A and B are shown apart, each in its own frame.
Chain A
Amino acid sequence: MNHRSSNETPAVGRLSVARVKARRFGQCALVATGAIALLGSCATNAPQDTWQPKGPNAKMIDDLQQPVFAVAGIIGIIVSVAVAYVIWRYKDRGQPIPEQTHGKPALEITLTVIPALILAVVGVFTFRVIFDLARTDDTQLVINVTGQQWWWEYDYPVQNEWGITQPIISSGQLVMPAGTKVLLRETSRDVIHSYWIPALNGKRDAVPGRIHTLRLEADEPGIYAGQCTEFCGLSHANMRMEAVALSKEDFARWIANQQAAYQAPAEGTLAKEGEAVFLNQCVRCHQVDGLKRPDGTLAIAAPDENVWSGAAPNLTKLMTRNTFAGAMFDLLRDACRDDVWKADSAEFGVKYLAGVDEACLNVNDLRAWLRNAPEVKPMYANPALLTETNGKYRGMPNLGLSESDIDKLVAYLLTLK
């Protein structure tokens, strides 16, 4: 083999200015990406941080992943350092090619057995956690969760021990008692979605035609944010959810209020006019339990005829929740919302149960929604483009309401609590 002597001009290995620049750029990009990743992990306001478990199920996962991450990290560092050392130590300086050997059984077996052992240990602990997280026999409260483009519906089956004597239905915010083993029974009305509240547990897919279960338990009262984690179409990124944990007493209050009968607005009020607009415009999709038509019959919504998934949020107790449209928008103004989110756990329940009143209503976002919903949340709601769905909407269409109708509707919606 020929080796270059030092006075020869090397044909390769010399870099053009352009290549040096490109390399510098590459290095900068690498450093920048690393820095972003590193700094990102320092965020103080990170409600969906998986490394901050707030309940026993998430804690179980955390207790597993911390040591696994440590072991993997140490191995990763050892391997990278070794590779870097070898690259530096044996780089081509024109030295002769050393003698080539083939195979070192002792070394190879050792290097196979050690990782196998490490993986076996990790495997044993992982399986234990998987089976513990799949348990359903210690459930204390069952909540049905149904996903659809692009919001979550919650319904509470009759459970007399919790005072639930008639079905309760809600959306956007999952209200549950703290310190209680809650079991979600998930399904979907259209495509596959996935339910994930990082602080409380891992993810579980919601699949049409199937019932999947997910354990949730929050140690303390509070709001825990999450989002759909299975790509489900146009507004997947806007399909969020919040789990609201209340103390058991506050939860009982919430249950009682959810089951309270519908109160029609008083005659002659703006809200009463809003009820009439609602009956005309909204009831074909949205159910308000107990709402009656002028002729005294119950108004029964027909989302099955108008919405592709066959459902639209039940608005009976809209103003008891803090968010709307798949938890994408706040129903509370920023200040009021901060007041609830940042309340300490003793006060939190009372503040949450107060719901939304006129002073705190985030009237801008709600009006924008009523004025033209597809403009503020991407949805397939253009009447001209619904051939694929038999003329049914995916999402809420623009209803072309007048500003005065919107005034009336907002007044009416404020009574729904």
Chain B
Amino acid sequence: MFKVGSKLFLGLTGFAALTLVAYLIFVERLALGGVALSVVFAVLVGLSAVIIMINDGDSEVQPRDVSLVRASMWPLVTVVGFVLLILGLVVAQVYFIFGIVVVLAALTEWLVQAWSESASDDAAHNESARRRLLHPIEFPVIATLGLGVIIFAFSRIMLAISKSAGAVAFIVLSSLVLLVGAIVALRPALKSALVSGICVAGAVGIVVGGIAGQGAGLRTELAEAAAEGHFLHRECGEEKSKYFDKKAMKTISLRTNPVAIVELRGGVLSAIMTGFNEPQKIVSVPRGNPVTFIFRNFDDAERRMVASLGTAMAAGAETSTEKEGHSDSNETCTQLIPQGAEQALTVTYAKPSIAQEDPLTLTVPGVTGQAIEVVVP
């Protein structure tokens, strides 16, 4: 009754049960992992039952030449996978998930290889049967992984070198690729060993470069920006500062559905709102709800829009009873944008207008005597 196949599956089933129990006890109860393991367990139970029912695939082929069986790396990989899996139970979920992937992949390879080796007495035929089954899976997976590594390594290089060096590197590299491609296309007689040698050398170069780039870290501007945070410097003045965004976004999707579009045109600031036929000077917005304004600059100087947030602070910053500790930079703003550009600004007014000492406003630094009043009921 119990032949090789059913023993393998029964063993696996037992192992899945143990893993499931261990996961539930040591890692987490009622977690996604538990569900996944239960599914694995259930599938294995089903498979074992099938294997036993069909009498272990009782092969009609009688004992074969043992020398047909090739050496296989899959048992080893499977074991590595299991080790990762168990390690993952203790250390971190990533290893666990990685272990599952490795075990499943190795088992698939192993099973197909074992099956193909007993398919017939002809070793060549067996190998081609294996390929027919596995290559459609292996090739895309390996290609994806390989390309992923190369792209990741390339991105590390581009993040480490300066902006202009990045542009040069990109042009040189893509020209090289084009050149090599052209040569290969024009000279089909070229030795395939040579071609793959060039490809491997290129890939290895990029990966090594990527490792070096990762070691070198981000280029200065990026490192600074990451450490400082562009929006930490709420600089809402008229002048460009060190931190001004050199590539401010200049257009916005119309689907943003703003509460108002604030236009600066001929030195005059006005708010355009659906439903109001005339441009408005007062905008009513609901309290305690993020609202989006769009600022459009038709002035020939670079301009930004500033929203004052009032003396009663924004959400959660202070309780209603204490009004001490206002910061005087209690405002937020868009980037500086050139003529014809537009930007969105999303603001939440937690307190109503009656709580403010001064009216809430939208203004443009450098444009005097113009303000849109924001009324929060």
Contact across chains for A158 and B375 when beta carbons are under 8 A apart: yes
Task: Tell me the complex Cα distance, A4–B351, Å.
Answer: 85
Task: Tell me the complex Cα distance, A212–B292, Å.
Answer: 13
Pick from B257, B283, B291, B316: contact of A304, CB under 8 Å: B316
Per the CB 8 Å criterion, the residue count for chain A at the interface is 44
Set of chain A residues within 8 Å of B377, measured between Cβ atoms: 155, 167-169, 314
Task: Tell me the complex Cα distance, A144–B287, Å.
Answer: 11
Task: Tell me the complex Cα distance, A183–B284, Å.
Answer: 14
A198-228 near B? 1/0 per residue, CB < 8 Å:
0000000000111111000000000000000
Pick from B274, B351, B375: contact of A300, CB under 8 Å: B351
CB distance from B73 to the nearest CB of A (A): 48
Pick from B258, B285, B355: contact of A298, CB under 8 Å: B355
B5 at the interface (CB under 8 A from A): no
Set of chain A residues within 8 Å of B316, measured between Cβ atoms: 304-305
Set of chain B residues within 8 Å of A373, measured between Cβ atoms: none
Contact across chains for A139 and B282 when beta carbons are under 8 A apart: no
CB distance from A186 to the nearest CB of B (A): 10
B340-377 near A? 1/0 per residue, CB < 8 Å:
00000000001111110000000000000000000111
Contact across chains for A158 and B284 when beta carbons are under 8 A apart: yes
Pick from B274, B286, B375: contact of A187, CB under 8 Å: B286
The A contact surface, by secondary structure, is loop
Given contacts A299-B320, A300-B355, contact A158 B286 (CB under 8 A): no
B284-321 near A? 1/0 per residue, CB < 8 Å:
11111111100000000000000000001001100111
Set of chain A residues within 8 Å of B257, measured between Cβ atoms: 209-212
Task: Tell me the complex Cα distance, A290–B275, Å.
Answer: 30
Task: Tell me the complex Cα distance, A210–B377, Å.
Answer: 19
Set of chain B residues within 8 Å of A378, measured between Cβ atoms: none
| Most A C-beta atoms less than 10 A away, residue of B258, B273, B283, B288 | B288
Contact across chains for A167 and B375 when beta carbons are under 8 A apart: yes
CB distance from A145 to the nearest CB of B (A): 9
Task: Tell me the complex Cα distance, A407–B321, Å.
Answer: 26
Set of chain A residues within 8 Å of B51, measured between Cβ atoms: none
Set of chain B residues within 8 Å of A370, measured between Cβ atoms: none
Contact across chains for A305 and B286 when beta carbons are under 8 A apart: no
Contact across chains for B312 and A167 when beta carbons are under 8 A apart: no
B164 at the interface (CB under 8 A from A): no
A310 at the interface (CB under 8 A from B): yes
Contact across chains for B282 and A158 when beta carbons are under 8 A apart: yes
Q: Which residues of B contact A (CB under 8 A)?
A: 257-259, 273-277, 282-292, 312, 315-316, 319-321, 323, 350-355, 375-377
The 9 closest A-B pairs by CB, nearest first: A310-B288, A167-B377, A157-B284, A210-B257, A169-B377, A183-B275, A300-B355, A302-B320, A142-B275
